[in-house]
Structure 1
């Protein structure tokens, strides 16, 4: 069976990453979490004085962006890839609300996107990959053979994020998360560089009221269709 590139885009907290990871594992593809890459740059910025009282020190980040290397290594315990920032496992650190609340302005910077897209395209040269994010089907892999755009209502997405954080034992307020979800939607859709939008040839998946197993079944069907065509 021919190897293809699968691009999964959509709004924050839609379950894109879980969906993409599971699909990659089931079909034996490599999974690349593009959102984690922007989260890692955000964490780097937090730890290296790039966030200041005045905002983001873009000149400082621009000078350092090419020394920020992001990679993924399979975690044998979870069976899923962990995110590494310059060789250090930062998977847990990048999933906090503090990083979530700061990632959109970092991801909106043109030079950050340019650097991350270059790293993503390098990772995807050999095909046989599943990548999720905001601009995979429109900017990173416009020629991807299978493109999916995922959506769900802001309230449902906020509830999922709330449940996820509570399960990890982290303090979280539903209203704060809902506001964060809405802010991220606005920034993602209105940024100048690679705004979040559905590619013309992407399949729309509204998973507001779908179970994980229903999503898996739907994804497997789409994958089979493309590979057989």
Structure 2
């Protein structure tokens, strides 16, 4: 009987640093990485490109079923197009939050996410990795930070990409998204009952990485 590959889930709200930390942990362990947010963002980006109604569940599911999603290092491809930067805009983030609240969309993307579970192991980053997608994960982490810190991180990230933004507006959007994600009826944003909660507000990525590696040891 083959061994079941171990899984570490890292959930948390936007701007908590979970993507950075998940990538660092996966690289350190030489495991596979699942950026579930990118999968949802690709779907949202494609919906925007096709001028779709973001509440049209049936239409969105049909769109998703026909999409070819590929990940190569830090490069994200949708039907052969490099969308690595396009899926990180505020407009795409807002659309992602809206479609991710739809049960049919979440169901359509569930198996795509689970297909990343392979040997030697998987680090999965998202909002419901430990509660819905991989409820039997070996280690579950919920990474959070204050809205003001997360807005500042997002502002700096967008500036590096040459995208103009307002910290105040970003913080308002983060608070709205937190409210929507935490109160949606399907897979709400919340720590798993057995998750280890880390507040990264005043921690560097390396500090968080060391805490996680220490726990794993």
TM-score, normalization: structure 2? 0.93
Residue pair 1:117, 1:140 contacting (<8 A) in 2 also: yes
Alignment of 1:79-228 (within 5 A): 81-126=74-119, 128-224=121-217
Unaligned runs of 5+ in 2: none
| Aligned 8 A contact 1:32 1:72 in 2 | no
Q: How many residues align?
A: 214
CA-to-partner distance for each residue in 1:49-83, whole Å, 9 max, x for gaps? 214xxx53333223323112323112xxxxxx322
What's the counterpart of residue 56 of structure 2? Answer: 57
Is the Cα–Cα contact under 8 Å of residues 8 and 20 in structure 1 kept in the other structure?
A: yes
Say which SS state the counterpart of residue 51 (structure 2) adopts: coil
- Which residue matches 1:45? 47
* Cα separation, 2, equivalents of 1:46 and 1:200: 35
Distance apart, 1:127 and its partner CA:
5.5
Partner of 1:77: none
Q: 1:30 to 1:125 in 2, by over 3 A?
A: closer
1:98 is displaced (CA, Å) by 1.4
Partner SS state of residue 169, structure 1: coil
Gaps (5+ residues) in structure 1?
Answer: 75-80, 225-229
CA distance in 2 between counterparts of 1:216 and 1:63 reads: 39
Counterpart contact for 1:50–1:58, Cα < 8 Å: no
For 2:31, the equivalent position in structure 1 comes to 29
**Once the 2 structures are TM-superposed, how far is the Cα of residue 86 of structure 1 from its aligned partner?**
2.6
Q: Which digits, 9 at most, give the CA deviation of each residue in 1:92-137, with x for residues without a partner?
A: 1101111112211111111111111111112215461111000000
Q: Could you tell me whether the CA contact under 8 Å between 2:47 and 2:63 is conserved in 1?
A: no
Q: Secondary structure at the match of 2:115?
A: helix
CA contact (8 A) 2:10 2:18 kept: yes
Distance 1:15 1:43 in 2: 22
In 2, Cα distance between equivalents of 1:141 and 1:59: 25
* TM-align CA RMSD: 1.6
Question: TM-score under structure 1 normalisation?
Answer: 0.88
**Could you say which residue in structure 2 is the equivalent of 1:15?**
17
